Structure 1
Amino acid sequence: MNFGEFLIRRADDMLELGLAHAAVVGGAVLISTLIGVALGVLTYQSERARETVLAITGSFLTIPSFALFILLLGPLGLGWKPVLFALVLYGLMPVVRNTITGLRGVDPAVVESAKGMGLSRRQLLLRIELPLAWPVIITGVRVTTLVLLGIAAIGAIVNGPGYGELIFTGLARVGTPVAVNMVLAGAVGVMILAVVFDLAFYTAKRLTTSRGIR
């Protein structure tokens, strides 16, 4: 059976696994974005605070994914929960870093002008700083998503959802005619999701960023 025939026969499985993969990654991106932006907003004005939060979130990326998934088996068990938790940890660093970079990159003259107009600190953040920093922030979210799509596949080691199931099943059947097709199908599925997510973020960035700062 060639690869094309394999994809046609397993089309339903590919769609089901793709939706599950997208769901766990999308959930992790949403949570890591909310936490990451909040951490960036709270720390960008203090050098010690931002260095600390960047060091902590950066340290999460140094943990091998295999090891982290196995460590999470105890408290969270098998399934999507350890995968979601791990992905949130891995997704924080790019979001925090880009939030801090974006907010610190706002022109001080614009900030001073806004203060002169009587804007409160909260109004300044919501109306001036965050909108101007948004293109940088969403780029961090975009990078996070692409990274997590690959890591999520490894979550199959703890029975996590997604294309990792195909990849690991194929690896377990090395030497059989179907093994290569299964691994390749899983890899291609992840690549297709990456393109879809990337296009979605590109579109979202254009729609949510004012023309003057694109």
Structure 2
Amino acid sequence: MIQCLLLATVIGVLVGIAVYRSPAGSAIATALSSTILTIPSFALLGLLIPILGLGVPPTVIALTMYSLLPIVRNTIVGLGAVDPAVTDAARGIGMSRLRVLTRVELVLAWPSILTGMRVSTQMAMGILAIAAYAKGPGLGNLIFSGLSRVGSPTAIPQALTGTVLIVILALILDGIYVLIGRLTTSKGIR
């Protein structure tokens, strides 16, 4: 799951950087990543399984695709919210366009990008449970295994264990994002 979020972050931030100055490009990037979310996760996995087979590959692609929208959108919003006077001042002291982007704009947009990553993580946790149908990894296997044994004395505890573990993992990951935000965002931006 972490590799899916890292991949979605790299793709989402690069797309956001490429289009944030263009209203049409921003609208197209947001619309395309929004369209992915309209496809039910079972249907997307059903489309990917004949191409990639069962297991990890369809799960990774589906989770990466579903994680894109919040990251793309928050990157565009964060970069668009940077005060033009700040970037003009950076250019005025001789910074190149690339240095302005990496040293000023991305630093100021970082809290917004991190928020997009947090939202993507929480969305991906729910979809990861469904990925068990594609023989993908995750705690969804516990849930579906328990549900397949309905009527047995271990069915409900097994499904409940998988559900509780997913919630705990989601909370731990969210706490890690909060910690990363505190460590990587300057006090002046917070």
**What TM-score do the two structures reach when normalised by structure 2?**
0.98
Tell whether 2:9 aligns with 1:33.
Answer: yes
**2:91 aligned partner, one-letter code:** K
Give the distance between the partners of 1:108 and 1:121, measured in 2 at CA.
Answer: 13
What amino acid sits opposite 2:104 in the alignment? Answer: I
Q: Distance in 1 between matches of 2:2 and 2:125?
A: 9
The one-letter code sitting in structure 1 at the alignment partner of 2:114 is: I
| Residue equivalent to 1:171 | 147
Which one-letter code corresponds to 1:53 in the other structure? A
- Paired letter, 1:104: G
Q: Does 1:80 align with 2:49?
A: no
Per-residue Cα deviation, 1:148-205 (whole angstroms, up to 9, x for no partner): 0111010000111111101111111111111111110110010010111011100001
CA distance in 1, matches of 2:71, 2:167: 22
2:38 is equivalent to residue 62 of structure 1: yes
Listed as ranges, the gaps of 5+ residues in structure 2 are none
Return the structure number with greater relative CO, CA threshold 8 A, min gap 6.
Answer: 1
Show the counterpart of 1:205. Answer: 181
Letter in 1 for 2:21: Q
Structure 1 gap segments, 5+ residues each:
1-24
**Is 2:77 the partner of 1:101?**
yes
User: What is residue 147 of structure 1 aligned with on the other side?
Assistant: 123
> Deviations for 1:18-67, whole angstroms, at most 9, x for unmatched residues?
xxxxxxx1011000000000000000000111100110011001110011
Between the aligned partners of 1:64 and 1:177, the Cα distance in structure 2 is 32
Q: After TM superposition, give the deviation of residue 71 of structure 1 in Å.
A: 1.3
Give the partner amino acid of 1:157. Y
Instruction: For residue 211 of structure 1, report the CA deviation from its aligned partner.
Output: 1.1
* TM-score of the two chains, using structure 1 as the length reference: 0.87
Q: CA RMSD in A?
A: 0.7
Residues 135-157 of structure 1: per-residue CA shift (max 9 Å, x gap): 11001001101110111010000
The Cα offsets for residues 52-96 of structure 1, whole Å up to 9 and x where unpaired, read as: 011001100111001111111111111111111000000000000
Point out 4+ residue stretches in structure 1 off by more than 4 angstroms: none
Q: Distance in 2 between matches of 1:53 and 1:43?
A: 7
Structure 2 distance, partners of 1:37, 1:74, is 30
Give the corresponding residue for 1:132: 108
Alpha-carbon separation, structure 2, partners of 1:201 and 1:60: 25
The CA distance in 2 between the partners of 1:73 and 1:129, in whole Å, is 40
Identity %: 49
In structure 1, give the amino acid aligned to 2:19: T
Q: Distance in 2 between matches of 1:181 and 1:76?
A: 33
User: C-alpha separation between the residues in 2 aligned to 1:55 and 1:195?
Assistant: 29
